[in-house]
Chain A
Amino acid sequence: MADLKITFAGIPAPNPFWLASAPPTNTGEQVMRAFDMGWGGAVWKTLSDPIVNVSSRLAGVDHGGRRLMGMNNIELSTDRSLAVNFKEITEVKRRFPDHALVASLMHAADREAWLDLARRAEDTGCDALELNFGCPHGMPERGMGAAIGQVPEYTREITEWVKQAARLPILVKLTPNVSDVAYIARAAAEGGADGLTLINTVASITGVDLETFTPRPVVGDRSSHGGYCGPAVKPIALYQVARVARSGADLPIGGIGGVATWRDAAEFILLGATHVQICTAVMHHGFRIIEDLCDGLSSYLDEKGLPDVASLCGRALPRLGAWEELDLNYRVVASIDQERCIGCGVCYPACRDGGHQAIEARADPEGGRTRVEVNEERCVGCNLCSLICPVHDCITMREAGPRQPPRSWKQVLAERTETN
């Protein structure tokens, strides 16, 4: 079995599956139970000046009858006293010395307060400090979280304050609620961060109750925007992780956002993450998902002939680039397996109305199934029909004609410049 041990920003951990700073890491009892079940690390529920939380706090987005495609949260940082939290962190670290235990910190732009918080956190014996510059709800209004992480200069300066005073590695948790996360990543690196974790939640409103006109989640007769997480945000997180991996910040990355399975984790790692942090999947299914996370990833590494997680890290990045580098001569067309086709015809209106009018549908005069066929001349190879076809492997994309020498938009532009 492949070795799942990792080292992230100098912090060793038995595996790359860490609990993100969130409700599952609210108490020592939870974190110790998670470690007992096999989790590799945990980032403690964010410590700040104690706040008061509201009821209710969460709202879900279901899709196709499945629960929690996405979830948003208006819960803030810990609502327990800092002293209790520090005591519990100390106890957890004493009992689990080999697990990664990170304290997440948040404060407004007050240097003395940050340094005091950092010192007290370091005294617990934890492995690193994660600066929460990402929380998009409730805290930015108080000058915290995303209020800092949305401004490169604030990010750099506050990272610097803490880094200069601290002994431990400093991780900066980034918000996706920015126009380009690369600027913030570079600013954190300039401030001295040892690692970056992202994404924090996406500012969101999950929905509105159509009877009462109240957005969700409801607190009395009002609501407030929250932070979106869960499977729905994974594509956003994958992009931002890859963006940071190529931002020039040159720091190890912890991938967060919609990780629920080992497959999700492998994707984050392939795009440059060293470890992943998980919250929503645990809130949905409990800590028990760790068994398959480890088992699945380890089997996958074995199948790929890779000895450890580090060997997988960033392996997809060379295959990700600018659009202008893509081969304009690569051409695929849709191919319908008539043996598998059930005649539902859903590809027909999709291609007609939302594609390139390349699918023809013929009703059977005998009253049988509708027959759909691809007009290869019209098909641009967009994938749409293969994405919506309800039958597995019925519509596939295959290369059309002999492959021409590759030619990118970059080359086209270069040729134009030459001819001018």
Chain B
Amino acid sequence: MAAHEAAVEATRCIYCHDAPCARACPAGIDVAAFIRKIQTRNLRGSARLLLARNPLSASCARVCPTEDLCSGACVLLDMGVKPIDIGRLQRHVMDWAMARGDPEIPLAPSTGRRVTVVGAGPAGIACAVELRRRGHAVTVYDERARPGGLGTHAIAAHKMTPDFAVSEVEWLASCGFLLHNGTRVGEHVTFGELEESSDAIFIGVGLGVPRRLEVEGEELEGVVDALPLIAAHRVGGDLPLVLEGRRVVVLGGGNTATDSALLATLLGASRVTIAYRRSTAEMPAYRSELELARDRGVELLLLHAPRRVLGDGQVEGLELQPMRLGEPDASGRRRPVPLEEAEPVTLDCDVVVRALGQGVDNKLLAGIEGIRVIRGRIRVDPETGQTQNPRYYAGGDCVNGGREVVHAVAEGRRAALAIDRMLREED
């Protein structure tokens, strides 16, 4: 977006009072205010305002499902007019700010307090930046060789490149947090050691263990997990298998399912089907992503649950049970129950992609007193992100079960504010 184009798009914003776009932003960005600053060509102020609420504004400008969040709430839609392209405007500001160099994050005087952040994904980095802003010393550990978490390793390439996600973390690191990549907590350094060296610990480790189908034939060659597939494509490693010319069935209803289905179409799969055991209404995937997948020819098979993977050594098909919707479950969504009278259906395919969600790595947290993991997620106080162990806070996918980057950022920042409050009250 050229400077002039951005300024003109910014002038379309009517600068709402109590703007719905801001209310729709999980990070609470004052959208109308940052856009007005583009209009006045105060890009420096605009970037400052964005970073104050969302340190990963550059990532979010690329990966946020804005049609379902800020732009989807734009009042211009009610006028029958194209909503403000908030994502592109934010990207315009952040590209300018990153090209300029220093993110100009103002730092409070040093408090002498030290916080450790485990996980250099969006939640951890957002937490680290906010803590630095408030004058605390921060050390971030990440087990992988490159920082950025799922921003680097899992987000579909059509949204953001891994190099970009890494460069954003490195850019933000100039505010002074220490980053130890390739350092696995529990192996290279223990939580006990971290507890001794820090006043608080933030856990932003994401999700580790992919959920399994728990059906016959799951061990056949051709059954793969979605995330390693996406990660391999992103960071340039070898794909676990060839998708070109293959018939692919993706199981799941979330954004990882739509991402991997899109990836399969990009890599030349001959036929891509997303099979989901509930209906579209219960799908956690964003509508815009689902529409994009459908536009690219991805087929949807709703109300079908996997029963059996068919094949002899190699996947040849998938047997699915037709389902119907029953009473709501704990998540508030209607529970799928087998449609008794219906015969199972068989879908011929060569590849089955599991995009069923993941759980947090229990082994990692096992030794920490008070941390409770329920259904694969760390339990925290929803106001503060504090775990049952008062020194430990958590946020991001390991708490919310896998949501957008912007949610992880909001939770990382929420914990940083609470940690800051706690440390100041102790002083």
Give the B-binding residues of A (Cβ under 8 A): 64-65, 342-346, 348-349, 361, 363, 367, 369-370, 390-391
A370–B18 contact, CB under 8 A?
yes
Docked pose: A84 CA to B327 CA in angstroms:
93
Interchain nearest-CB distance for B81 vs A (Å): 9
Which residues on A sit within 8 Å (CB–CB) of B8? 65
Residues of B14-45 whose CB lies within 8 A of A: 14-20, 23
Which residues on B sit within 8 Å (CB–CB) of A345? 16-19
With A65-B8, A65-B11 known as contacts, the answer to whether A348 contacts B79 (CB < 8 A) is no
B20–A343 contact, CB under 8 A?
yes
B18–A361 contact, CB under 8 A?
yes
Q: Is residue B193 contacting chain A, with contact meaning CB distance below 8 A?
A: no
B11 contacts which of A64, A369, A370, A390 (Cβ < 8 Å)?
A64
Which residues on A sit within 8 Å (CB–CB) of B20? 343, 369-370
Which residues on A sit within 8 Å (CB–CB) of B11? 64-65
Q: Is residue B7 contacting chain A, with contact meaning CB distance below 8 A?
A: yes
Q: Is residue B78 contacting chain A, with contact meaning CB distance below 8 A?
A: yes
B14–A349 contact, CB under 8 A?
no
Docked pose: A346 CA to B17 CA in angstroms:
5
B23–A343 contact, CB under 8 A?
no
Nearest residue, chain A, Cβ from B8: A65
Docked pose: A390 CA to B17 CA in angstroms:
13
A342–B18 contact, CB under 8 A?
no
Which residues on A sit within 8 Å (CB–CB) of B194? none
Docked pose: A65 CA to B12 CA in angstroms:
9
| Listed residue (B12, B19, B75, B76) with the most chain A CB atoms within 10 angstroms of its CB | B75
B17–A342 contact, CB under 8 A?
no
Docked pose: A64 CA to B12 CA in angstroms:
8
B7–A65 contact, CB under 8 A?
yes
A342 contacts which of B7, B15, B23, B75 (Cβ < 8 Å)?
B75
Interchain nearest-CB distance for B271 vs A (Å): 40
Which residues on A sit within 8 Å (CB–CB) of B16? 343-346, 370
B14–A344 contact, CB under 8 A?
yes
| Listed residue (A342, A346, A349, A369) with the most chain B CB atoms within 10 angstroms of its CB | A342
Which residues on B sit within 8 Å (CB–CB) of A367? 23
Interchain nearest-CB distance for A151 vs B (Å): 42
B17 contacts which of A65, A349, A391 (Cβ < 8 Å)?
A349
* Number of A-B residue pairs with CB-CB distance less than 8 Å in the complex they form: 42
B79 contacts which of A349, A361, A391 (Cβ < 8 Å)?
A391
A346–B18 contact, CB under 8 A?
no
Q: Which 5 A-B pairs have the closest CB atoms?
A: A345-B17, A342-B78, A65-B8, A342-B75, A344-B16
With A65-B7, A342-B78, A390-B79 known as contacts, the answer to whether A361 contacts B17 (CB < 8 A) is yes
A369–B75 contact, CB under 8 A?
yes
Which residues on B sit within 8 Å (CB–CB) of A369? 20, 75, 78
B14–A390 contact, CB under 8 A?
yes
Interchain nearest-CB distance for B62 vs A (Å): 25
A370–B79 contact, CB under 8 A?
no
Which residues on A sit within 8 Å (CB–CB) of B78? 342-343, 369
B17–A344 contact, CB under 8 A?
yes
Docked pose: A48 CA to B19 CA in angstroms:
58
Interchain nearest-CB distance for A208 vs B (Å): 14
What would be 7 A-B contacts, judged by CB atoms less than 8 Å apart? Answer: A344-B16, A346-B17, A361-B17, A367-B23, A369-B75, A370-B18, A391-B79
Docked pose: A217 CA to B137 CA in angstroms:
52
Nearest residue, chain B, Cβ from A389: B14
Docked pose: A391 CA to B18 CA in angstroms:
17
Nearest residue, chain A, Cβ from B17: A345
B23–A344 contact, CB under 8 A?
no
Which residues on B sit within 8 Å (CB–CB) of A349? 17
Docked pose: A65 CA to B3 CA in angstroms:
12
Which residues on B sit within 8 Å (CB–CB) of A346? 14-17
| Listed residue (A65, A344, A363, A367) with the most chain B CB atoms within 10 angstroms of its CB | A344
Interchain nearest-CB distance for A371 vs B (Å): 11
Nearest residue, chain A, Cβ from B12: A65
Nearest residue, chain A, Cβ from B24: A367
**0/1 per residue, B65-83, Cβ < 8 Å to A?**
0000000000110110000
Interchain nearest-CB distance for B281 vs A (Å): 19
Docked pose: A64 CA to B8 CA in angstroms:
7
Docked pose: A370 CA to B12 CA in angstroms:
20
Docked pose: A361 CA to B16 CA in angstroms:
12
Which residues on B sit within 8 Å (CB–CB) of A363? 18
Docked pose: A363 CA to B23 CA in angstroms:
11
Docked pose: A343 CA to B20 CA in angstroms:
9
Which residues on A sit within 8 Å (CB–CB) of B12? 65
Nearest residue, chain A, Cβ from B4: A65
Nearest residue, chain B, Cβ from A345: B17
Docked pose: A145 CA to B11 CA in angstroms:
39
Nearest residue, chain B, Cβ from A394: B79
Docked pose: A15 CA to B225 CA in angstroms:
78
Docked pose: A363 CA to B75 CA in angstroms:
14
With A343-B78, A344-B75 known as contacts, the answer to whether A370 contacts B17 (CB < 8 A) is yes
Nearest residue, chain A, Cβ from B78: A342
Which residues on B sit within 8 Å (CB–CB) of A370? 16-18, 20
Docked pose: A146 CA to B39 CA in angstroms:
37
Interchain nearest-CB distance for A209 vs B (Å): 13
Which residues on B sit within 8 Å (CB–CB) of A64? 11
Residues of B55-108 whose CB lies within 8 A of A: 75-76, 78-79
| Listed residue (B16, B17, B20, B78) with the most chain A CB atoms within 10 angstroms of its CB | B17
Docked pose: A349 CA to B18 CA in angstroms:
10
Which residues on B sit within 8 Å (CB–CB) of A390? 14, 79
Which residues on A sit within 8 Å (CB–CB) of B7? 65
Nearest residue, chain B, Cβ from A347: B17
Nearest residue, chain B, Cβ from A349: B17
Which residues on A sit within 8 Å (CB–CB) of B14? 344, 346, 390
Docked pose: A345 CA to B17 CA in angstroms:
5
Docked pose: A390 CA to B76 CA in angstroms:
9
Docked pose: A217 CA to B324 CA in angstroms:
72
Which residues on A sit within 8 Å (CB–CB) of B17? 344-346, 348-349, 361, 370
Interchain nearest-CB distance for B6 vs A (Å): 11
Docked pose: A91 CA to B12 CA in angstroms:
50
Docked pose: A344 CA to B79 CA in angstroms:
11
Docked pose: A343 CA to B74 CA in angstroms:
10
